[in-house]
Amino acid sequence: MAQGSPFPPTSASLATAVRDARERTLLLFEDLADEQLRVPYMPVVNPFLWELGHVAWFQERWVLRHGLGRAPIRKDGDSLFDSAAVGHESRWNLDLPDRVATIGYVTAVRDEVLDLLAHGDLTPELAYFVWHSTGHEDMHEEAFLYMRQTLGLPPPRFGASADAAQAAQDAAPDGGDRSVPGGAFRLGAEPDRGFVFDNEKWAHTVTLAPFEIAAQLVSQSQFAQFVEDDGYQRQEVWSAAGWSWRLASGATRPVYWRSRGDTWQRRSFDRWTPLESDLPMIHVNWYEAEAWCRWAGRRLPSEAEWEAAATSELEVDAGTPHLAAEKRRHPWGEEPVSADRANLDARFLGCLPARDLAAGRSAAGCLQMFGDVWEWTASTFQPYPGFVPDPYKEYSAPWFGARKVLRGGSWATRPRLLSATWRNFFTPDRRDVFAGFRSCALEG
């Protein structure tokens, strides 16, 4: 089919994913009191009830209505929950259904999809829309966590505390740089790699110069050195756009940091904790990452460099290293995601030290390329050659040219959603995302 990928998965595996996604979504919502659901207008969040209704509407729209031709469950669904038609600011002025009615709608959609999977004729096209809508829900589950962090709400009632791993301590060695040889590299997804989104299609050859990339993510202690060296006041380390953002925002430090005497504290959900010196820097935007790199005499990797460092096998011919023709499925190889390789799925409600995830090392020697924090790259989000939008045309095409690419997933990303070719994309001013970065040495 046009969407590519070795489909269909089984009805049973799809049903498991649908149940799991909806259970996680409701867990992120149901413990909040009614007053906590009343969200003030903010550009980076949605009203909780709108976000919950939108998740169900999207699944109904593509699986039940588009895939099966059924009538809408809610006649007003399109006018309430279609994100392409309902502007962000207007979502606060809608006559949304109340909590009980919204949960009823979310449950009804799930039950109809599960009934289809139990008794219907599952075509490859329909399987694609079930999987796509589940992936869409997985993304919104991460957005629910962004929202809870932004609003200072308590953490959800699942996942283990990462306090033991986050105890303040001397920063671990940064591991230095790892050399990645240049040459031809296949950037993007191959058609035999399973479900992929339209902006990952398809793998194409690019030529990379040799580069040096940090083995570890920039840590909180490393970023604190930039802050304490008046990095937010030094215009020379900021791009023109970044300095304009800094002035307009009034930023003088990372968004969830505060100073107490001679120490820094960071807010995680509704709690302030001492800065976790050896954990990855999190909640910085692209401008801040770029400024840190210029201050440190470094640069951000391009997304092609990031993908090569994460996935390439390295070969040596006649004493000369080069990139192998084949890529790894995951940074560590073909083996599935496991807790000792990547910090994903909100198993811990926060980041872990790199030393806890040594089994996830890439062939190039880089750690934490999956999980912990989304990694900003230098690249602007653009289509790959020959790009054709998938049926959900609003997923990628409207955002080309205006956003920056992030790679690798965060501690909150669902493992079934993540791949080494998946391209996340946000505007460069976003600090609410679970994003950090690693750096590259300057050429020469």
pLDDT tens per residue across span 357-368: 999 999 999 999
Based on the domain organization, do 230 and 332 belong to the same domain? Answer: yes
CATH of the domain at 78: 1.20.120
Asked whether the beta carbons of 343 and 411 are under 8 A apart, the reply is: yes
pLDDT higher than 80, residue 168: no
User: In this structure, are strands 424-426 and 211-214 parallel, antiparallel, or unpaired?
Assistant: unpaired
Based on the domain organization, do 395 and 275 belong to the same domain? Answer: yes
- Would you state the pLDDT for residue 344? 97
Q: What pTM value is reported for the model?
A: 0.95
Based on the domain organization, do 187 and 258 belong to the same domain? Answer: yes
For residues 245 and 238, what is the distance between their CA atoms, to the nearest angstrom? 10
pLDDT higher than 70, residue 92: yes
Q: How confident is the model at residue 285 (pLDDT cuts 50, 70, 90)?
A: very high
- Would you state the pLDDT for residue 17? 97
Share of the chain above pLDDT 90, in %: 87
- Would you state the pLDDT for residue 230? 98
Task: Give SS3 for 321.
Answer: strand
Mean pLDDT along residues 409-433? 97
- Would you state the pLDDT for residue 161? 61
**Residue ending a domain, choose from 150, 179, 198:** 150
Neighbours of 420 (CB within 10 A): 22
- Would you state the pLDDT for residue 316? 81
pLDDT higher than 90, residue 190: yes
Residue 84: which H helix or E strand, with range?
none
Mean pLDDT along residues 66-73? 96
User: For 297-362, where are the alpha helices, taking DSSP H only?
Assistant: 303-311
Based on the domain organization, do 144 and 227 belong to the same domain? Answer: no
In a domain, 286, yes or no: yes
- Would you state the pLDDT for residue 1? 34
Task: Give SS3 for 81.
Answer: helix
For residues 34 and 340, what is the distance between their CA atoms, to the nearest angstrom? 38
In a domain, 1, yes or no: no
Q: Find where tokens 């909150």 sit.
A: 412
Based on the domain organization, do 285 and 428 belong to the same domain? Answer: yes
Mean pLDDT along residues 297-306? 98
In a domain, 3, yes or no: no
**Residue ending a domain, choose from 132, 150, 168:** 150
DSSP 361: -
Q: Find the distance separating the first CA and the last CA of the chain, reported in whole Å.
A: 47
67 is in which domain, residue-wise?
Answer: 11-150
pLDDT higher than 60, residue 2: no
In a domain, 196, yes or no: yes
Based on the domain organization, do 237 and 288 belong to the same domain? Answer: yes
Return mean pLDDT, the chain.
93
Q: Which of 1-5, 35-39, 92-96, 237-241 has the lowest mean pLDDT?
A: 1-5
In a domain, 434, yes or no: yes
- Would you state the pLDDT for residue 7? 54
For residues 331 and 218, what is the distance between their CA atoms, to the nearest angstrom? 18
For residues 11 and 121, what is the distance between their CA atoms, to the nearest angstrom? 10
- Would you state the pLDDT for residue 162? 58
Share of the chain above pLDDT 70, in %: 95
Based on the domain organization, do 16 and 133 belong to the same domain? Answer: yes
More confident residue, 167 or 401: 401
Based on the domain organization, do 211 and 232 belong to the same domain? Answer: yes
pLDDT higher than 80, residue 322: yes
% helix, strand, coil for the chain, step of 5: 35, 15, 50
- Would you state the pLDDT for residue 31? 95
Based on the domain organization, do 94 and 166 belong to the same domain? Answer: no
- Would you state the pLDDT for residue 160? 67
Query: Per the structure, how many domains does the chain have?
Result: 2
Based on the domain organization, do 228 and 353 belong to the same domain? Answer: yes
- Would you state the pLDDT for residue 6? 43
Q: Distance between alpha carbon 247 and the CA centroid of its chain, in Å?
A: 27
CATH of the domain at 242: 3.90.1580.10
Q: What are phi and psi of 435, to 5 degrees?
A: -120, 145
Question: What single-letter amino acid sits at 223?
Answer: F
**Residue ending a domain, choose from 150, 171, 202:** 150
Based on the domain organization, do 124 and 248 belong to the same domain? Answer: no
- Would you state the pLDDT for residue 66? 96
Query: Edge-to-edge strand order for the sheet containing 211-214?
Result: 177-180, 211-214, 440-441, 298-299
CA dihedral for 348, 365, 194, 133, sign (positive or negative): positive
Q: Distance between alpha carbon 355 and the CA centroid of its chain, in Å?
A: 22
Q: Which of 299-303, 317-321, 329-333, 392-396 has the lowest mean pLDDT?
A: 317-321
Give yes or no for a cis peptide into 8 (omega within 30° of 0): yes
pLDDT higher than 80, residue 37: yes
Based on the domain organization, do 381 and 424 belong to the same domain? Answer: yes
Mean pLDDT along residues 135-156? 97
In a domain, 4, yes or no: no
- pLDDT tens digit sequence for 360-414: 999 999 999 999 999 999 999 999 999 999 999 999 999 999 999 999 999 999 9
For residues 353 and 281, what is the distance between their CA atoms, to the nearest angstrom? 11
Q: How confident is the model at residue 346 (pLDDT cuts 50, 70, 90)?
A: very high
- Would you state the pLDDT for residue 4? 40
More confident residue, 316 or 401: 401
- pLDDT tens digit sequence for 218-248: 999 999 999 999 999 999 999 999 999 999 9
Q: Which two tokens stand for residue 140?
A: 């919104």
